[in-house]
């Protein structure tokens, strides 16, 4: 949907006075905000309470004695089975997976989108259609053969397997994103570059990529969030050696012996959520743009 | 290669000393999922003995068997196998053996005289078409009733022998405000409990006609109805916190006196020992309520086919070490299970293991465990039905029997 | 039309995409569909078994339950998220104070993974830990809120967590849509004295149709792929009462070592999605559309 009359401000009727309708709107918004904030609140307060307080007062009471010990334990000494190194190894593995995956998936997506927008290739429509379908199909269709291929090639449970997987499944949305963006770039610009003797790759790297900064930001936001939050790929292909943070989190909080350390578990959960949350808070409207762009639209 | 292994160790946190500078033996990667404290100590018995004999044990312990097993199988099929891998006895490794992916262990078996020292049923459970493909390391049965002795004395309750006794005792505890039965409603625990009821309240004939003969009509018998009723009745003696509770959480409920009894396999003793409990003094044990049977189950290790001669020799050495007399005793003492060899010194066993051994001596009480008789596919499908029955108090025993029979119907071959 | 010269370097640039489509998508898909017609258990076998796996699949209670759950989850989660998201967008659009804060608060769940979402709701909904325990602590001893351990109610917990995760997304899409509505429409409605609710119902909602479609498509993608959330929130339980197809496939592939049945289930999902998608994709991307705007 393209709109020409975009007004920046709210468009609802201007309020005249504080009437019951107005109060109703605020009540609705307030209750909704509480509903959305509740889990964050629970995680934050529980993560700084000693266990005794959790047993006594439950999850929702404010902490009377704030302690950061659960955070320290969650990061560096909480146990999964016999492994007592906290969630931090998972954090670093996630970082190791994230950086190459984001770069590779965006670059390949951008080149593909660029090729599909400006160049003619036989079967391009078919390729595009197949990519689109790939965006929608359930992973379960692909997973078993991929496990077998990775096992046979020795990639299984390596970082490479995860990077490759994120490139494979990130490609459709990335392609779409850049294809749509390049569709908005005047064709004359491209023609001029051609006349100047530009080749496929030189036009891409010298002209198109520098022009794509806004889309690159959106793509980075989208991919960092998506790859960081991935669970199923890390679980299936990461094996033992390369479990990302989300997978380690589920292992860490799995009940083992004795009392469940909810404060430590919640601290670990906040840490796992921190990266996308920080991205969200600092990127603000860009995040919304990312979602809107990721919304598969023509 | 070494880098990869380093990261594997770091990930498991289980570094075993394995420096053998003189021999520079082939690294032998052992994939297993024994990771609780008691289990790790038991595994270390194998590792130490293997290293002392000139091997080089590389430990690859994965916390969850549901993750470990597919990981290992995918590596075997993909041509990048661990040298040695843990499995369950019975039908599970059959497909791998059929596909020619496992090392035939007949040579080790005959050199070590396994035919004489292993019970015939066990030998059959590790064989496929007459060839041995796995090393059994222990014997255990899932149908023990463990109980807190202090609570039994406090409420003046006698040790139950039958299911009627059990329910009478449970009523006493329930009235006294104690959780009668500690229970974790994870699917494997539910299915295990049910199979114990099937053997104990239903009897061996019914049990075999289901798991061995796969007869759907067995579910129409009064015995099966009784099994279904007993199983449903157990539900009312558990607390509301059962969903997703692990077995060791349930064990700790008995230890702390929150619950009086727990039905679980031999490995429960590992938890009790870790809490400093002594068999016969702090806790009591009953093997098989109702008809007494030892539902034989065994952990085994399989040896995937490897290309190098050195690796193959390491596998043979491993097979020999795991069934060594001393290793068997030390390992099983720590693991809480029974040695699989019938010629080892049993004087050091605890009071409960002695009961188990006594029962095991009577062939009429030996009963092959479900895993030995039926494939994982059928057992899992049956487990689904059992789990649903437990979770649906409104389901009648008759409805349950029908669903159970429908699964058996699917596995007629 | 754009000028589209043919160059080999184009194919070099497209090579990663071509390889991915041919091998990672089509190749694996054919492999999966192929296995589903064999009697494979732990290992892929070449023994052709016709549609036996499919017959067994549709005789399996757990599969039927998981399909039913997916449909129920899809309808409820999408329906509630659309209504709630739309109402929130409309409310925020009424020149309220602290609009920025409200938008941030409502949208942040969407940045969280399903793992985090599932875990935190599992704690809140756990009767012995969360809401039920707290309310009882206030003195309402008979208060009950134990959906998560109930055979028939556990799936509603998944819906609840799903709505919490997704409603902000709908709000953001709808708010962008509302802000894009021609201001003249508002003026006209005010001059004509149309009641606000009528205006929203009869004019705004039809105008926002594309926004509703985008939101629905985005949310439905999540419905078919629903796995992580269920895994950590309910584990598919009690029993398998809150199981979903994606989890069914994963369990049978990896834990149950029954790849024949698992691939049959995956193929069924595939066909379902294709049936729904193909016409829509075709209409959206390949049919010449009338000029927009």
HSE of B244, CA atoms in CB hemisphere, 13 A: 17
C38 vs C267: CA distance, rounded Å:
13
CB B83 within 8 A of CB B306: yes
Q: Is the pLDDT of residue B20 over 60?
A: no
State whether A168 and A285 are in the same domain. yes
The verdict on a CB contact (< 8 Å) between A140 and C266 is yes
Cross-chain CB nearest to A276 (options C9, C112, C137):
C112
Q: Which residues contact B245 (CB under 8 A, 6 or more apart)?
A: A255, B183, B184, B185, B186
Inter-chain touch A296–C35, beta carbons under 8 Å: no
- Summarize the confidence of residues A165-189 as an average pLDDT: 91
Query: By CB neighbour count within 10 A (0-12 exposed, 13-18 middle, 19+ buried), where does A18 fall?
Result: exposed
B194 near B231, Cβ under 8 Å?
yes
Mean pLDDT of A190-215: 91
DSSP assignment, residue C245? H
Q: What is the pLDDT of residue C292?
A: 40
Region B82-102 average pLDDT: 87
DSSP A250-287: HHHHS--SSS--HHHHHHHHHHHHHHHHHHHHHHTHHH
Considering only alpha carbons, which residue of chain A is nearest residue B41?
Answer: A82
Asked if A118 and A238 sit in the same domain, the reply is yes
Phi, then psi, of C49 in degrees rounded to 5:
-130, 15
- The least confident of B12-21, C41-50, C266-275 is B12-21
C50 part of a folded domain: no
Q: Contact B263/B198 with Cβ under 8 angstroms?
A: no
Cα-Cα-Cα-Cα dihedral sign, residues C263, C265, C267, C269: negative
Q: How far is B16 from chain A (nearest CA, A)?
A: 13
B114 contacts: CB under 8 Å, gap ≥ 6:
B108, B123, B132, B323
Tell me the domain boundaries of chain B: 2-140+299-349, 144-296+365-410
SS3 of residue A113 by DSSP:
helix
Question: Looking at beta carbons, which residues of chain A come within 8 Å of C27?
Answer: 145
Total domains in chain A come to: 2
Check C238 against B99: CB less than 8 A apart: no
Mean pLDDT in residue range B255-280: 90
Contact B61, B91 (CB under 8 A): no
Residue A105 lies in a domain: yes
Residues of B in contact with A86 (CB under 8 A): none
Q: Looking at the structure, do residues A38 and A165 belong to the same domain, yes or no?
A: no
The nearest alpha carbon in chain C to A262 belongs to C123
In this prediction, residues C142-158 reach a mean pLDDT of: 89
Query: A10 and C92: CB-CB below 8 Å?
Result: yes
Coil, strand or helix at C8? helix
* CATH code of A171's domain: 1.10.3720.10
Confidence of residue A4 (pLDDT cuts 50, 70, 90): very low
Q: A26 with A121, same domain? A: no
Q: Answer yes or no: is pLDDT of A295 > 70.
A: no
* Domain count along chain C: 1
Interface test with A, best of C80, C94, C117, C261 (most A CBs within 10 A): C94
At A14 the pLDDT is: 56
Q: Which residues of C are less than 8 Å from A74 in CB distance?
A: none
Listed in sequence order, the DSSP H helices in B186-258 are 187-202, 204-211, 222-234, 247-255
Average pLDDT of the residues in B292-305 = 92
Establish if C9 belongs to a structural domain: no
Distance CA B309, CA B105 (A): 14
A134 vs chain C: nearest CA distance in angstroms? 7
pLDDT of residue B11: 38
Q: Are residues A211 and A162 in the same domain?
A: yes
Q: Strand B144-148 vs strand B259-264: parallel, antiparallel, or unpaired?
A: antiparallel
- CATH class for the region spanning B144-296+365-410: alpha beta
Are both A163 and A116 inside the same structural domain?
Answer: yes
- A83, A239, A256 ranked by CB distance to B246: nearest: A256
Better-predicted residue by pLDDT, B410 or C283: B410
Q: Is pLDDT at B86 greater than 50 in this prediction? A: yes
C151 vs B: CB within 8 A: yes
- The span from the CA of B243 to the CA of C147, in Å, is 13
For B202-225, how does the pLDDT look when each residue is reduced to its tens digit (9 = 90+)? 999 999 999 999 999 999 999 999
Given an 8 Å threshold on Cβ–Cβ distance, is B66 in contact with C254? yes
- DSSP letter assigned to residue B363: G
A80-106 CB burial, b ≥16 within 10 A, e <16:
bbebebbbbbbbebbeebbebbbebbb
Confidence of residue B3 (pLDDT cuts 50, 70, 90): very low
Range of the domain at C187: 61-286
Residue C69 counted as domain residue: yes
Same domain, A122 and A164: yes
Higher pLDDT, residue A286 or B127: B127
C188: domain CATH number? 1.10.3720.10
Let me know if residue C37 belongs to a domain. no
Per-residue pLDDT, A82: 62
Q: Please report which confidence band the pLDDT of residue C141 belongs to, taking 50, 70 and 90 as the band edges.
A: confident
Task: Give me the residue from C43, C237, C241 closest to B95, CB to CB.
Answer: C43
Check if the beta carbon of residue A167 is closer than 8 Å to that of residue A108.
Answer: yes
Q: DSSP alpha helices (H): ranges in B256-350?
A: 268-274, 309-322, 325-335
**Residue C49 within a domain:** no
The reply to whether residue C42 touches residue B73, judged by beta carbons under 8 angstroms, is: yes
CA angle A70, A73, A79 (to 5 degrees): 120
Residues of chain B with pLDDT > 90: what percent? 54
β-strands B366-368, B294-296 pairing = parallel
Tell me phi and psi for residue C148, to 5 degrees. Answer: -70, -20
A262 in a structural domain = no
**Predicted TM-score (pTM) of this structure:** 0.84
Residue A170 domain flag: yes
Instruction: Please list every residue in chain C whose beta carbon sits closer than 8 Å to the beta carbon of residue B96.
Output: 42-43
The pLDDT mean for chain A works out to: 86
Residue A236 in any domain: the answer is yes
> Which residues of chain A does C291 touch, with a Cβ-Cβ cutoff of 8 Å?
none
Using an 8 Å CB-CB cutoff, list chain A residues near B36: 81, 257
The pLDDT of residue A43 is 94
Tell me whether residue A265 is in a domain: no
CA distances from A235 to A87, A202, C272 (A): 16, 39, 26
What is residue C112's predicted lDDT score, i.e. its pLDDT? 93
Of the listed ranges A47-61, A84-98, B98-112, the one predicted with least confidence: A47-61
CB-count burial class (<10 Å; 0-12, 13-18, 19+) for B387: buried
Handedness of CA A198, A200, A201, A206 (dihedral sign): positive
List of chain B residues whose C-beta atoms are within 8 Å of the C-beta of residue C261:
377
Higher pLDDT, A285 or C113: C113
Q: In this structure, is residue A147 part of a structural domain? A: yes
Q: Is residue B360 helix, strand or coil?
A: helix
Query: Going by CATH, does the domain composed of B2-140+299-349 fall within 3.40.50.1100?
Result: no
Bridge partner list, B135 = B301
- As a whole number of angstroms, the distance between CA A229 and CA A17 comes to 45
C14-37 pLDDT tens trace: 999 999 999 999 999 999 999 999
Q: Are residues A112 and A238 in the same domain?
A: yes
B106 has which bridge partners? none
Nearest to A140 by CA among B397, B191, C35: C35
Q: Using CB atoms within 10 Å of the CB of residue C201, give its burial: 0 to 12 exposed, 13 to 18 middle, 19+ buried.
A: exposed
Within-domain flag for A43? yes
The pair of structure tokens assigned to C238 is 């009690």
Considering only the beta carbons, identify the residue of C5, C182, C266 that sits closest to A120. Answer: C5
In a domain, C135, yes or no: yes
CA angle B283, B289, B291 (to 5 degrees): 145
Do A132 and A204 belong to one domain?
Answer: yes
Residue A42: which domain range? Answer: 22-67
Instruction: Give me the torsion for CA of A153, A158, A164, A168, rounded to 10°.
Output: 90
For the sheet with B144-148, list strands across it. B179-182, B259-264, B144-148, B283-287
Q: Does C68 touch chain B (CB under 8 A)?
A: no
Would you give the distance in Å from CA C88 to the centre of its chain?
A: 20
Burial of C241-263, coded b for 16+ CB within 10 Å and e otherwise, reads bbbbbbbbbbbbbbbbbbbbbbb
Give the separation between CA B129 and CA C282, rounded to whole angstroms.
Answer: 55
A136 shares a domain with A52:
no
Q: Looking at CA atoms only, how far is residue B206 from chain A in angstroms?
A: 36
> Which residue of C31, C255, C260 to mutate against B (max B Cβ within 10 Å)?
C255
Residues in chain C with CB shorter than 8 Å from the CB of B390 are: 239
- Per CB-CB distance under 8 Å, the chain B contacts of A84 are 13
Question: How far away is chain C from the Cα of A240, in angstroms, using its nearest Cα?
Answer: 15
Check B388 against C61: CB less than 8 A apart. yes
Q: Judge residue B412's burial from the number of C-beta atoms within 10 Å of its C-beta, 0-12 exposed, 13-18 middle, 19 or more buried.
A: exposed
Question: Hey, are the CB atoms on C13 and A201 less than 8 Å from each other?
Answer: yes
Nearest CB among C93, C119, C246 relative to A269 is that of C119
In tens, the pLDDT along A47-61 reads 999 988 887 777 888
C239 touches chain B (CB under 8 A): yes
B249 with A239: Cβ contact below 8 A: no
Residue B188 confidence (pLDDT) above 90: no
Q: Which of A84, A151, A156 sits opposite B13 (nearest CB)?
A: A84
CA-nearest of C250, C229, B77 to A144 is C250
ipTM entry: 0.88
Out of A214-228, B14-28, B338-352, C178-192, which region has the weakest mean confidence (pLDDT)? B14-28
For chain A, list the contacting chains (3+ Cβ pairs, <8 Å).
Answer: B, C
Contact predicate A54/A30, CB 8 Å:
no
Q: Stretch C204-226: mean pLDDT, rounded?
A: 88
């Amino acid at each position: 949907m393209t709109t020409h009359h975009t007004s920046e401000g709210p468009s609802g009727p201007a309020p005249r006075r504080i009437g019951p309708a107005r109060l109703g709107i605020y009540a609705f918004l307030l209750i909704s905000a509480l509903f959305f904030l509740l889990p964050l609140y629970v995680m934050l307060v529980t993560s700084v309470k000693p266990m005794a307080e959790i047993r006594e007062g439950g999850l929702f009471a404010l902490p009377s004695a704030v302690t950061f010990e659960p955070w320290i334990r969650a990061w560096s000494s909480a146990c999964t089975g016999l492994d007592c190194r906290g969630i931090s190894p998972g954090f670093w593995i996630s970082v190791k997976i994230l950086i190459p995956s984001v770069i590779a998936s965006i670059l390949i997506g951008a080149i593909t989108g660029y090729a599909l927008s400006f160049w003619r290739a036989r079967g391009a429509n078919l390729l595009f259609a197949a990519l689109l379908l790939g965006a929608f199909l359930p992973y379960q269709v692909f997973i078993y053969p991929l496990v077998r291929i990775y096992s046979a090639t020795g990639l299984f449970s390596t970082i490479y397997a995860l990077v490759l997987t994120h490139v494979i499944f990130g490609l459709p949305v990335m392609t779409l994103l850049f294809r749509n963006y390049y569709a908005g770039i005047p064709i004359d610009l491209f023609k001029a570059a051609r006349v100047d003797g530009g080749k496929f790759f030189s036009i891409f790297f010298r002209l198109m990529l520098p022009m794509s900064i806004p889309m690159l930001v959106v793509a980075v936001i989208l991919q960092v969030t998506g790859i960081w939050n991935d669970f199923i790929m890390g679980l299936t292909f990461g094996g033992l050696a390369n479990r990302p943070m989300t997978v380690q989190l589920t292992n860490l909080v799995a009940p083992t012996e004795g009392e469940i350390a909810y404060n430590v578990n919640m601290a670990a959960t906040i840490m796992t959520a921190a990266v996308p949350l920080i991205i969200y808070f600092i990127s603000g409207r860009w995040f919304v743009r990312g979602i809107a762009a990721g919304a598969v639209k023509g | 290669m070494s880098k990869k292994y380093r990261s594997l160790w770091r990930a498991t946190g289980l570094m075993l000393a394995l420096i053998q500078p003189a021999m520079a033996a082939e690294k032998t990667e052992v994939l297993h999922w024994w990771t609780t404290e008691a289990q790790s100590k038991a595994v270390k018995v194998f590792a130490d003995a293997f290293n002392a004999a000139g091997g080089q044990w590389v430990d690859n312990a994965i916390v969850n068997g549901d993750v470990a097993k597919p990981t290992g199988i995918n590596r075997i099929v993909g041509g990048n196998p661990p040298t040695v891998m843990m499995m369950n006895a019975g039908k599970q490794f059959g497909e791998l053996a059929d596909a020619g992916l496992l090392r035939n262990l007949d040579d080790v078996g005959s050199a070590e005289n396994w035919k004489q020292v292993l019970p015939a049923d066990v030998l059959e459970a590790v064989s496929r078409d007459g060839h041995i493909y796995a090393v059994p390391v222990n014997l255990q049965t899932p149908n023990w009733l463990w109980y807190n002795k202090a609570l039994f004395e406090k409420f003046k309750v006698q040790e139950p022998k039958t299911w009627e006794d059990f329910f009478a005792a449970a009523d006493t505890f329930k009235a006294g405000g104690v959780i009668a039965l500690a229970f974790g409603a994870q699917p494997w625990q539910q299915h295990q409990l049910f199979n114990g009821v099937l053997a104990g309240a239903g009897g061996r004939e019914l049990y075999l006609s289901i798991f061995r003969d796969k007869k759907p009509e067995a579910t129409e018998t009064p015995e099966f109805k009784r099994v279904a009723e007993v199983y449903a009745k157990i539900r009312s003696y558990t607390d509301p916190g059962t969903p997703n509770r692990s077995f060791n959480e349930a064990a700790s409920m008995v230890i702390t006196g929150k619950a009086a009894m727990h039905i679980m396999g031999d490995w429960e003793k590992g938890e009790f020992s870790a809490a400093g409990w002594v068999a016969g003094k702090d806790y009591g044990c009953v093997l098989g309520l109702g008809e007494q049977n030892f539902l034989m189950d065994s952990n085994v290790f399989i040896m995937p086919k490897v290309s190098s001669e050195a690796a193959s020799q390491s596998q043979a050495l491993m097979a020999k070490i795991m069934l060594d007399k001393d290793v068997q005793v030390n390992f099983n003492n720590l693991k809480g299970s029974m040695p699989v060899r019938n010629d080892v010194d049993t004087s050091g066993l605890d009071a409960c293991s002695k009961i188990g051994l006594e029962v095991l001596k009577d062939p009429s009480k030996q009963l092959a465990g479900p895993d030995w008789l039926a494939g994982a596919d059928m057992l899992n499908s049956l487990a689904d039905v059992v789990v649903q029955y437990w979770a649906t108090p409104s389901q009648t025993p008759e409805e349950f029997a029908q669903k159970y029979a429908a699964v058996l119907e699917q596995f007629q071959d | 039309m754009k000028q589209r010269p043919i160059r080999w370097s184009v194919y070099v640039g497209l090579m990663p995409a071509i390889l991915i489509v041919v091998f990672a998508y089509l190749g694996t898909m054919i492999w999966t569909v192929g296995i589903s017609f064999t009697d494979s258990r732990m290992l892929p076998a070449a023994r052709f078994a016709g549609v036996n796996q499919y017959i067994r699949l549709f005789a399996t209670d757990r599969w039927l339950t998981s399909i039913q759950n997916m449909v129920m989850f899809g309808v409820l989660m999408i329906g509630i998220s659309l209504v709630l998201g739309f109402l929130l967008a409309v409310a925020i659009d009424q020149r309220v104070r602290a609009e920025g804060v409200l938008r941030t608060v409502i949208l942040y769940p969407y940045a969280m993974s399903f793992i985090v979402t599932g875990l935190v709701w599992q704690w809140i909904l756990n009767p012995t830990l969360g809401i039920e325990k707290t309310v009882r602590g206030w003195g309402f001893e008979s208060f009950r809120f134990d959906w998560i351990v109930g055979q028939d109610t556990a799936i509603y917990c998944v819906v609840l967590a799903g709505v919490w995760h997704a409603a902000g997304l709908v709000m953001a899409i709808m708010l962008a849509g509302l802000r894009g509505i021609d201001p003249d429409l508002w003026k006209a409605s005010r001059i004509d004295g149309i009641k606000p609710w009528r205006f929203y119902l009869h004019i705004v909602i039809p105008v926002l149709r594309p926004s509703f479609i985008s939101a629905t498509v985005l949310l439905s993608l999540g419905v078919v792929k629903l796995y992580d959330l269920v895994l950590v929130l309910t584990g598919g339980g009690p029993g398998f009462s809150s199981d979903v197809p994606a989890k069914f496939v994963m369990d049978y592939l990896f834990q149950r070592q029954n790849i024949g049945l698992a691939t049959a289930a995956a193929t069924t999902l595939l066909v379902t999605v294709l049936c729904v998608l193909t016409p829509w994709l075709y209409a959206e991307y390949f049919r010449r559309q009338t000029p927009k705007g």
